[in-house]
Structures are given as structure tokens and as C-alpha cells.
Amino acid sequence: MNHRLRNIRHLALDMDGTIYKGSTLFEFTKPFLKSLTEMGIGYTFLTNNPSKSVKDYLAKLGQLGIEAGETQLYTSTQCTIEYLQQTYPKVKRLFALGTPSMCDEFRKAGFEICENSHLDEPDAVVVAFDMTLEFSRVGRAAWWIQKGKPYVATNPDRVCPTDQPTIWVDCAAICAMLEQATGRNPDKILGKPDPSMLRGILQRHGLKPSELAMIGDRTYTDVAMGQRSGAVSVLVLTGECTLEDGQKYSPPPDFILPSIKELGEMLRDAKKEAVA
């Protein structure tokens, strides 16, 4: 199977559980990233969490000691923006359930965020992981959804992991509430495992699917998306899934590894074999 790594030019890296856990960077992450640069392999950090802006995430990475540029980060917000631009080119005005940081990302992309008023009619509704959720705005979103407006969700996560004594209700749970009120599910759910998350990276870097590897700690999001996109799928055991989870998953990942450290070693060996 190592031959599948010979053509890899770029890695899509899940973040929490893959390069760090919570607020702790794995000790092997920085050497791993350095080795990728030495081998001429690019990498992009992926996240399903739309609550923070690209700037926010880059700041967090910086605090952990990882320097990255805007082109090295791809969020479900960016994926949703690109989907709307491509699928609904006439949509400009959005009613959004999302954090101020997320709404700012949409504004930067040329969208207008509508006010919480029945007189401020949107072209579409976007629902996300919203830690600033207000009852009246949920009702307004339901109103526009029931009126038949295009309706998209940024990610399919039901809860967001936290080490706090609470449950962070994520996008899918908010959408479930709206479905009970309106009878409608989102017209499109972006984020992992939807292949469009990787499609954006493929297009951005001019890659073939066989030249991209998707690395993450979850089978049902990271591995599933890699498989749906035709990319090499790598499950690492530093986060949610266990070895047993990976072995039971069907179809299985291309590789199940203890961590990205072992992946770095395998990539180096594969590159040497390609040259020999």
C-alpha cells in the first residue's frame, strides 16, 4: 500500500485529535510539519467548526507554535461560501444563525447579513454552530425556512467537543430543532464528510485526488470524506477513534496509524522508493 503515498503532493489535516488535543500540541506535530516542507509536500488544516474566522484559527495555531498562512486553512464556512457562490450565484442576502466571526467571513465574501426582521427579507438561510444563539433569531430562521428560502447548513456535527461540564449543541442539533418546527431539513449540509470540503483544496492547489491524502481521527467524517473524494485516507489514533473502530469501519481506511509521526516516516520512505 505504500505505493499510494508516492504521488502525494498535499495533505489535508484535521486539527483537534490529529495535530493537537484541546489546547495541547502533540510533541511530534512540529517535526512532522517541518518534514513535509523538506519533502516539498504542502498541507492544509481543515475544521468543521464555523464559529471562528480564519484569522481566529490562525491565531490559535500561532499560540500553539504553528505558523500558517490563510491559504493553509480551510473551514466549513469557506466551503459554504464557495457552495453558495457556485450553486446560487444570485444569492447575496443571508439570514444566518452563526457567530459574529462567521458572519464577518460571509460579509468579506460579498454577502449581506439580514437583520432579525420580517421586513428584511433574505435570499437564503444559513445555519451553523452558533454559540450566540437567540430564541427570536431561531424563530426568524424558521419563518424564512418555512417560506421556502434556500436553506444550507455549514456542518453535520450534532455536538462540539468540550472539556467543560456542559454539552455544546452544534449545527445538526439546531437544524433538528428547525426541522421539528418547519418540516424541512437543509437543502445542503456542508463540512466533513461532504466531498466539497476537499474539492476546494483540490481546486485551490491544482491537485488530482490521488495526489491528496486526508488525515484525521474520525472514520465517519475524515476517512469517509477522503474515500468519497478519491483521496488517500489515513486514520490516526490520537483522537476519537480506536484501532478497533478503524478495523471495523467499512470500507477500511487506506492506513491506520498511531499518529502523524508514523505517516511522516512512511511518506519519506515512499519518496525514497519513488526516486530509487
Architecture of domain 2-48+192-275: 3-Layer(aba) Sandwich (3.40)
Domain with CATH 3.40.50.1000 in the chain: 2-48+192-275, 82-189
pLDDT of residue 62: 94
Spell 212-239 as b/e; 16+ CB within 10 A means b.
bbbbbbbbebbbbbbbbbebbbbbbbbb
Coil/strand/helix, residue 139: helix
CATH top-level class for 82-189? alpha beta
Map grid coordinates 487506506 to a residue: 254
Report the alpha-carbon angle 130-132-138, nearest 5: 70
Distance CA 47, CA 75 (A): 5
**pTM (predicted TM-score):** 0.87
User: In a structure prediction context, what are the per-residue pLDDT tens digits for the chain, which is 276 residues long?
Assistant: 578 899 999 999 999 889 998 788 999 999 999 999 999 999 999 999 999 999 999 999 999 999 999 999 999 999 999 999 999 999 999 999 999 999 999 999 999 999 999 999 999 999 999 999 999 999 999 999 999 999 999 999 888 877 678 888 999 999 999 999 999 999 999 999 999 999 889 998 999 999 999 999 989 999 999 999 999 999 999 988 999 999 999 999 999 999 999 999 999 998 887 666
Distance CA 149, CA 33 (A): 43
Distance CA 268, CA 36 (A): 9
pLDDT of residue 185: 98
pLDDT of residue 16: 86
Q: Are 241 and 23 in contact (CB under 8 A)?
A: no
